[in-house]
């Protein structure tokens, strides 16, 4: 599981920088990476990561919204946090 997380993070950063250098959105590179290393590509991600993917998607959504500086209230974040803890 640790290897899969390291693979996702390191390759994600690499794809982000690469796509930024060729004047494409870094998020596009990360999406391409997820297709390549996911179960529909080369299947490099462990099954443990795939089992917790719904929780990881919620966390990723929160991070994306925060980075985009969309107005998130504390109440909404607390609701999402409560859902994650269930």
Count how many Cα atoms sit within 13 Å of the Cα of residue 55 in the half-sphere of its side chain.
Answer: 11
Residues sharing a CB contact under 8 Å with residue 18, sequence separation 6 or more, in sequence order? 29
Q: Give every residue of the chain whose pLDDT is below 70, as ranges.
A: 69-73, 86
The ranges assigned to domains in the chain are: 1-49, 52-86
pLDDT for residue 22: 96
Tell me the pTM: 0.67
pLDDT for residue 69: 65
pLDDT for residue 71: 60
pLDDT for residue 16: 93
Tell me the torsion sign for CA atoms 31, 19, 63, 12.
Answer: positive
pLDDT for residue 28: 93
As a 3-state breakdown, the chain gives helix, strand, coil percent values, each rounded to 5, of: 75, 0, 25
pLDDT for residue 78: 77
pLDDT for residue 1: 86
Torsion on CA atoms 14, 16, 19, 22, rounded to nearest 10: -80
């Amino acid at each position: 599981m640790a290897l899969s997380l390291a693979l996702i993070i390191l390759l994600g950063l690499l794809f982000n920088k690469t796509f930024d250098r060729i004047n494409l959105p870094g998020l596009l590179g990360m999406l391409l990476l997820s297709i390549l290393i996911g179960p529909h590509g080369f299947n490099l991600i462990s099954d443990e990561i795939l089992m917790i993917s719904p929780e990881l998607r919620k966390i990723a959504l929160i991070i994306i919204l925060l980075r985009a500086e969309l107005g998130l209230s504390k109440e909404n974040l607390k609701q999402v946090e409560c859902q994650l803890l269930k």
